[in-house]
Structure 1
Amino acid sequence: MEPLGTVIILMIICISCLVFLAVRSRTPENAKLLPPGPTPLPIVGNALQLKINNLAQVLQEFSEKYGSVFTMYFGAERVVVLHGYDAVKEALIDHGDEFAARGHLPLADDFNKGLGIIFSNGEAWKQLRRFALSTLRNFGMGKKSIEERIQEEAQFLREKFQDTQEKPLDPTYLFSCALSNVICAIVFGKRYDYNDKKFLSMMSLMNENFQVLSSSWGQEKGNSASHFTIENLAISTVDLFVAGTETTSTTLRYGIMTLLKYPEIQEKVHEEIDRVIGRSRSPCMADRGEMPYTDAVIHEIQRFISLIPLSLPHAVLKDTRFRQYVIPKGTTIYPILTSVLHDNKEFPNPKEFDPGHFLHKDGTFRKSDYFMPFSAGKRICVGEGLARMEIFLFLTTILQNFTLKSIVDPKDIDLTPVMSSIGNCPRPYQLCIVPR
């Protein structure tokens, strides 16, 4: 058996070397000008060096060694990582056209097939994005009509919370239903009851999809000239539901969890709500300018949780000169949003939750160019305005009417994500919702 074992090991080494040489032989000549990076292994690339539950830390260590622009291999796929505000801004904003393409994401590619808004490219993406933005505006995004719709849904959510009678609950599906109903109102012109079985099934599938994409498993007809085919429009609608439901509901769920850990911050928000809004009317967007502390808390929630830490992948569609490097055509680009949101010069103690990151010393709200939870440049989230409105109105409505209490000691609440890759997923938790 011993000679056989030696032969098998030698065969594995030989095959690995052949695969490595084959990959190198297909590497374009201009790859010599690629940014530096960790040495990849045959077949698996740098995958064994990555820690799915602490990916940001690994990438931080790579950036310290190789610089703010470096090359990695996810399996056989070459990717260039942009780490830090300067590199991300320079690529996505200063060189927005060159970095506007969408990169590959295997599970999404299998489903979307390059269709829809999020994962399309070229003229199809331009037309569908333009159509989505104009349609959302026509249906009220950014206007009083959609604000009223969100306020109405926030009251339905308040009633559901009231019905819990202070018993422990997991808020996941209530948030998903509430946020999805806003999209339903825009796309279908109607809302659904929170107990509707088909509606709940859809919420469950979207929640599951977000978790799968964030796990290690996720890193695996008419006029023919028109991009407005039935299939394309259907996938675009799915894109709106996924982007408009799961990301915002997860932000709210993570935000509530954070307020459970820091009840003193929750109390300060209560005080500002009572002073500015009171208890007799619903919160409205006009209140936000008079509520700097609440606005700072909401910004800090989004900064702290860094919901989409790597951003969705970008790509370059031609050989692209960037700084002193040349990035070959077809290379996937990952602008690391966490590296911007957790920049320790802009946000002292970035791993600590501190609303002071968005407040001046006199208590007024402090804006920051480093606030990029929705990405930046030409691929910035289509629904950013809607999401900002939803987060403010839902959170203030909840805190206007309820005190949120943890069922465990707040010190024992773990805010680190249960998994972290494309998305940061909060750990499951329960809370008691007590009327004020």
Structure 2
Amino acid sequence: MVSWLIIGAATVAFLFYHMYWKRRNLPPGPMPLPLFGNLHNIVFNLPGYSCHTKWHKEYNGVYTYWIGTLPIVSVSDYQLMQETFVKDGDTYTGRKRFDWLSDEFRGGNYGVIETDGPMWREQRRFSLHTLRDFGFGRNIMEEKILDEVREMTAKLRVDLGATGSAPKIDLAGYLDICVGSIINAILFGYRFEGEKLAEFYDMKEMLDNHMRLAGRPEMLLIMTLPWLRHFPPFSWAYHQAMIVNRNKMWDFFGRQVSEHERDFDPTVEPTDYCQAFLKEIYRRKEAGEDEGNFHTKQLFSHCIDLWIAGMETTITTLRWGMLHMIHNSDIQAKIHAEIDENITSDREIQMSDKNILPYTMAAVNEMQRTANILAQNLLHKTTRDTTINGYKIPEGTACAPQICAVLLNPEIFPQPERFDPTRFLNADGSPKKVDELVPFSLGKRQCLGESLARMELFLVFANLLRKFKLSISPGEEPPSLKGQMGVTVQPFSYKCCIEARR
């Protein structure tokens, strides 16, 4: 009898803690399961958009949901995001990270994406300054992108053959090499061609697998309950797979850094990011300054961050954009007509052409909105006690501006599942600024490569459609618009019919 009373009391205490006590001081949200949190909600609604749009309505734009044992205060109302992550930006510059994962994947707390505090501010400032020196947002960077666009379209024309048409082409490979070569040239000074192509394809396949693996519910559970990684099936199905991916990354990036160290000449002006970082290390040593956060471990992680972020998000967005062009032949035809009317010479479309191609630019904006590649935004962490919409939030709490819910909000974007460029046009056809288009997040931790990504998206999208027409492969159903769950939401692989236009 006594044992049953003890079991009953323990059960009541267990449920009381998980259903009320641990949640009592946080904004309301969906009921979490013990240990699993709200992962079951996401699993049954992959990739998770519908969960956040539902919770947005139920809890008026701010709610707490749980990934395993981790509570996340999510802000899904755009105006409230402005009040918190923008106007009170310093409070949300922290990064919620998992130390065991940083140790295993990076060898410590390094890089720029997963760091915070003075180290993050210093490294972000250095990155922005260095990338501006290499032409971010200026004509020099535009010309580098256009060089890769020329290579991509020329290769595609060759592969189409004498007929100028092919029924089943996988565009992903062409986009991968184009965007991958851009970021690799910035970081390490070379593009992917010849014998380097095999190296790139191996890395890109690994990256795709890793991004899908790292965003799976099982991996999210391991992040908050790290002891699970020692037990099957978590150990061999997820943790070991992550280690295999890590080793490939360490091999590739370690080799790049080592080769740059071997060839480093402090008297030569840097021509890539890795050289610029090594020169800063050299400058500090020569000046007798403390190296601080400027050392090869930091450079190694920094390059991983910039390489992955600079390639994955842009490629994934472009793949979604081309998929929507296949599904919306009428929109594609309007883009073709606008380009043909306004670009009459053989030159490539440039950034200065945006004003005479408003419908094309609107389609690029809609591509970013519908791609909506972050079903779960990266986690911030409060740097001090604060208040969100009347709720007291203690220092160290994981928070996120839930941009996926904004991009799918029917009050802002009616019929949000439709691909409709006119959302970004005024009645007279001129460009319409929509503040709620926030694919690069917002606040002090928004994407530092935003200017490069915006330039790439427009130049690749517009020039590809100028020269080619995309359609459904004969006799086949349109490719699926369903996304794959991961750190980013990727479309499933697809092939299409491509015809040369000029």
Normalized against structure 1, the TM-score is what? 0.90
1:78 is aligned to: 71
- Name the CA shift for 1:162/1:119 in 2 (closer, same or farther; >3 Å): same
Determine whether 1:185 maps to 2:214: no
Contact preservation (8 Å) 1:244, 1:387: yes
Amino acid paired to 1:100: T
What's 2:269 paired with?
none
Supply the distance in 2 between the matched residues of 1:150 and 1:48 (Cα, whole angstroms): 42
Partner AA of 2:83 in structure 1? E
Seen in structure 2, the aligned counterparts of structure 1 residues 201 and 365 have a Cα distance that, compared at 3 Å, is same
Determine the C-alpha separation between the residues in 1 that align with 2:384 and 2:376. Answer: 22
Partners of 1:214 and 1:426 in 2: how far apart? 14
The residue type paired with residue 111 of structure 1 is F
The residue correspondences of 1:139-218 to structure 2 (distance < 5 A) are: 139-165=134-160, 166-167=165-166, 168-193=168-193, 196-218=197-219
Letter in 2 for 1:174: Y
After alignment, is 198-207 or 232-241 more displaced? 198-207
Alpha-carbon distance in structure 2 between the residues aligned to 1:212 and 1:237: 21
> Is 2:411 the counterpart of 1:345?
yes
- The answer as to 2:83 corresponding to 1:90 is yes
The answer to whether the 8 A contact 1:140-1:146 is kept is: yes
The 10-residue stretch of structure 1 (422-431 or 54-63) with the greater mean CA deviation from structure 2: 54-63
Partner AA of 2:184 in structure 1: C
Residue pairs, 1:351-390, within 5 angstroms: 351-390=417-456
CA contact (8 A) 2:472 2:478 kept: no
CA distance in 1, matches of 2:187, 2:170: 28
Cα deviation for residue 46 of structure 1 reads 2.2
Matched, 1:434 2:434: no
Alignment of 1:31-430 (within 5 A): 32-50=24-42, 51-104=44-97, 109=102, 110-112=104-106, 113-165=108-160, 166-167=165-166, 168-193=168-193, 196-219=197-220, 220=223, 226-407=292-473, 412-419=478-485, 422-430=487-495
Looking at structure 2, the residues matched to 393 and 58 of structure 1 have their Cα atoms a distance apart, in angstroms, of: 34
Counterpart-to-counterpart distance in 1, 2:99 and 2:150:
39
Q: Distance in 1 between matches of 2:357 and 2:219?
A: 39
Which letter does structure 2 place at the counterpart of 1:433? Answer: I
Whole-Å separation in 2 of the counterparts to 1:10 and 1:278: 85
Find the counterpart in structure 2 of residue 4 from structure 1: none
Structure 1 residue 37, shift from structure 2 partner: 1.6
**1:224/1:395 CA distance change after superposition, 3 Å:** same
* Cα deviation, residue 13, structure 1: 7.9
Return the letter of the residue paired with 2:41.
Answer: Q
Q: Which amino acid aligns with 1:250?
A: T
Query: What's the CA shift for 1:182?
Result: 0.7
Residues 327 and 225 (structure 1), Cα distance of their counterparts in 2 relative to 1, 3 Å cut: farther
> For the residues of structure 1 that align with 2:320 and 2:64, how far apart are their CA atoms?
32
Q: Which moved more, 1:180-189 or 1:359-368?
A: 180-189
Moved more, 326-335 or 194-203: 194-203
The one-letter code sitting in structure 1 at the alignment partner of 2:183 is I
Structure 1 unaligned regions, length at least 5: 1-6
| Aligned counterparts of 2:12 and 2:382: Cα–Cα separation in 1 | 29
Give the superposition deviation at 1:241.
0.7
Q: Distance in 2 between matches of 1:408 and 1:312?
A: 40
1:314-349 CA distances to partner (integer Å, 9 max, x unpaired)?
111332222211112221112211111122222221
Task: Give the alignment's Cα RMSD to 1 decimal.
Answer: 2.7
- Residues 21 and 33 of structure 1, relative CA distance in 2, 3 Å threshold: closer
Contact 1:84 1:343 in 2 (8 A): no
Supply the distance in 1 between the matched residues of 2:413 and 2:71 (Cα, whole angstroms): 32
One-letter code aligned to 1:423 = T
One-letter identity of the residue aligned with 2:423: H
Displacement, 1:173?
2.6
Cα pair 2:90 2:383 within 8 Å, conserved: no
Distance change >3 Å, CA 408–CA 65, structure 1 → 2? farther
- SS of residue matched to 2:89: coil
Instruction: Provide the rounded CA distance (Å) in 2 between the counterparts of 1:11 and 1:268.
Output: 72
Deviation at residue 418 of structure 1 after TM alignment: 2.9
Flag structure 2 segments of 5+ consecutive residues without an equivalent: 224-280
The sequence identity of aligned pairs, in percent, is: 31
- The 8 Å contact of residues 299 and 358 in structure 1, kept in 2 or not, is answered as yes
Cα deviation for residue 16 of structure 1 reads 6.2
Distance 1:194 1:345 in 2: 50
CA distance 1:356–1:149, change in 2 (3 Å):
same
Structure 2 vs 1, CA of residues 107 and 396 (structure 1 numbering), >3 Å: closer, same or farther?
A: farther
Aligned positions, number: 425
1:34-57 CA-to-partner distances (Å, cap 9, x unmatched) read 211222222222222323515121
Shift in Å, 1:204: 1.6
Runs of 4+ residues over 3 Å off in structure 1: 9-27, 105-110, 220-225, 408-413
Are 2:45 and 2:51, in contact at CA under 8 Å, matched by a contact in 1?
Answer: no
1:75-127 deviations in whole A, cap 9, x for unaligned? 11111111121222222112111112112368964424431111111011001
Separation in structure 2 between the aligned mates of residue 12 and residue 268 of structure 1, nearest angstrom:
69
SS at match of 2:91: coil
* Alignment partners' CA distance in 2, 1:272 and 1:35: 49
Indicate if the aligned counterparts of 2:192 and 2:200 stay in contact, CA closer than 8 A: yes
Conserved in 2, the CA contact under 8 Å of 1:104 and 1:332? no
